[in-house]
């Protein structure tokens, strides 16, 4: 356990310095992640000092991790979010309970955890707060990420790892699953008095999360801005808000824009960019796409890209281009995305389509 504490301290401190001084993009999400690394370093240092003294005080490091991962994920989904000073209240449970445990000399190793004594009230508050914090932050975080992911194809024309946040969804599910195990071990600790196992599991999980966030957090780029307010809310249109004539006009403007200006050549194209260019509210474009055209934004844009690929593969002027180069020219940002979308929309790979043209 001592080794884990000092390795965790070193790794957290190192990752914090990398995020603070090496990564140039100091967005809200990166600043939150930096703060979490430094706070984790202090938590490992606290435990290391406790182990040296032989007295491990009652504490729960996830009281600080819970709100940080909530706000971190929220700041990735909504890049324009700005944290207010009053929101520091979210770290009060961690500070008050940690400081309180030291002030009242409440140690983690307590054979009679449920016995009635002068610290019973503190232990009850500690247990209730830990459970409430876990549920109150983890569940909304999971819901927010899920809602964001199911609405991606209404916003983006290209899906990348930075945009889909699949790694973060995995981390949240992994974290929630592991915390259930940790709480179960905590109950076993109370019954069996084997306190060291629950401490080891808790800080092993924290160490794992630090390595995961050190890797993916450094790679995570700022997600393309998607506007303000309700931009990321899932939109359904069981009761359309636009009348047929307005839909027809918007559809014509949209299709004319794509046919004449060919914005789909930009691999970073989003519906918000189109909305600003055409001066048409985003929600109206999304409604027209979903209810009148019958496609989400992702499919609508990529159908234009695939048609351009077909034209270039058929044009002798582009025969010296490789298939991959043509895909990039037409707005795809990677070979895998190009091949996947092309096959999904045509039923064949670009090479098979090219071979069919040559045989014909």
> Domain for residue 225, yes or no?
no
Q: pLDDT by residue (tens digit) across 95-114?
A: 999 888 888 888 765 445 55
How would you class 150 by CB atoms within 10 Å of its CB: exposed for 0-12, middle for 13-18, buried for 19 or more? exposed
Which of 219, 252, 267 is the C-terminal boundary of a domain? 219
170 has a pLDDT exceeding 80: yes
What is the pTM for the complete model shown? 0.79
Q: pLDDT by residue (tens digit) across 234-253?
A: 455 555 678 889 999 999 99
One domain for residues 264 and 139: no
Q: Which H, E and C letters describe 296-338, residue by residue?
A: CHHHHHHHHHHHHHHHHHHCHHHCCCCHHHHHHHCCCCCHHHH
Neighbours of 356 (CB within 10 A): 11
Average pLDDT on 255-281 reads: 94
> Domain for residue 195, yes or no?
yes
> Domain for residue 159, yes or no?
yes
One domain for residues 205 and 258: no
Q: Based on the structure, what is the number of domains in the chain?
A: 2
Residue 297, domain CATH:
1.10.10.60
Which of 185, 219, 253 is the C-terminal boundary of a domain? 219
One domain for residues 355 and 209: no
Average pLDDT, the chain: 85
One domain for residues 133 and 269: no
One domain for residues 251 and 209: no
One domain for residues 160 and 263: no
Of 71, 53, 65, the closest CA to residue 93 belongs to 65
pLDDT at 230: 43
One domain for residues 292 and 253: yes
Task: Supply the range of the domain harboring residue 174.
Answer: 2-219
Of 304, 357, 305, the closest CA to residue 326 belongs to 305
Neighbours of 255 (CB within 10 A): 13
Neighbours of 197 (CB within 10 A): 13
Q: pLDDT by residue (tens digit) across 24-52?
A: 777 888 889 999 899 989 988 988 898 88
Contact 250, 285 (CB under 8 A): yes
> Domain for residue 268, yes or no?
yes
Name, in order, each residue with C-beta under 8 angstroms of 233's C-beta and a sequence gap of 6 or more.
Answer: 147, 151
pLDDT at 298: 95
One domain for residues 32 and 151: yes
Which range among 82-86, 286-290, 330-334 shows the weakest confidence by mean pLDDT?
Answer: 82-86
> Domain for residue 235, yes or no?
no
Of 342, 317, 319, 338, the closest CA to residue 328 belongs to 338
């Amino acid at each position: 356990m001592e080794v884990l504490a000092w390795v965790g301290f070193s790794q957290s401190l190192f990752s914090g310095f990398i995020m603070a001084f090496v990564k140039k993009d100091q967005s809200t999400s990166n600043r939150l992640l930096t703060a979490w690394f430094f706070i984790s370093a202090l938590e490992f240092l606290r435990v290391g000092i406790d182990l040296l003294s032989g007295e491990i005080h009652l504490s729960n490091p996830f009281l600080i991790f819970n709100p940080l991962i909530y706000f971190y994920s929220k700041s990735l989904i909504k890049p324009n979010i700005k944290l207010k000073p009053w929101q520091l209240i979210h770290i009060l449970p961690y500070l008050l309970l940690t400081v309180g445990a030291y002030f009242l000399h409440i140690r983690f190793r307590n054979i009679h955890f449920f016995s009635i004594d002068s610290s019973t009230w503190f232990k009850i508050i500690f247990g209730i707060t830990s459970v409430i914090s876990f549920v109150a932050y983890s569940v909304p975080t999971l819901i927010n990420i899920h809602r964001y992911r199911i609405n991606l194809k209404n916003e983006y024309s290209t899906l990348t790892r930075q945009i889909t946040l699949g790694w973060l969804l995995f981390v949240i599910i992994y974290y929630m699953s592991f915390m259930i195990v940790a709480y179960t071990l905590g109950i076993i600790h109370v019954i069996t008095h084997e306190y060291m196992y629950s401490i080891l599991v808790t800080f092993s999980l924290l160490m794992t999360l630090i390595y995961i966030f050190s890797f993916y957090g450094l790679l995570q780029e700022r997600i393309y801005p998607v506007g303000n307010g309700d931009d990321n809310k899932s939109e359904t249109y069981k009761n359309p808000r636009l009348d047929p004539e307005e839909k027809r006009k918007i559809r014509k403007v949209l299709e004319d824009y794509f046919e004449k200006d060919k914005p789909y050549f930009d691999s970073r194209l989003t519906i918000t960019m189109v909305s600003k260019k055409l001066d048409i509210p985003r929600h109206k474009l999304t409604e027209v796409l979903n209810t009148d055209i019958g496609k989400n934004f992702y499919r609508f844009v990529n159908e234009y890209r695939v048609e351009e690929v077909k034209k270039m593969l058929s044009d002798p002027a582009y025969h010296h281009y490789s298939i991959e180069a043509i895909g990039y020219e037409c707005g795809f940002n990677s070979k895998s995305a190009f091949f996947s979308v092309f096959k999904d929309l045509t039923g064949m790979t670009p090479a098979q389509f090219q071979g069919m043209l040559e045989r014909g």
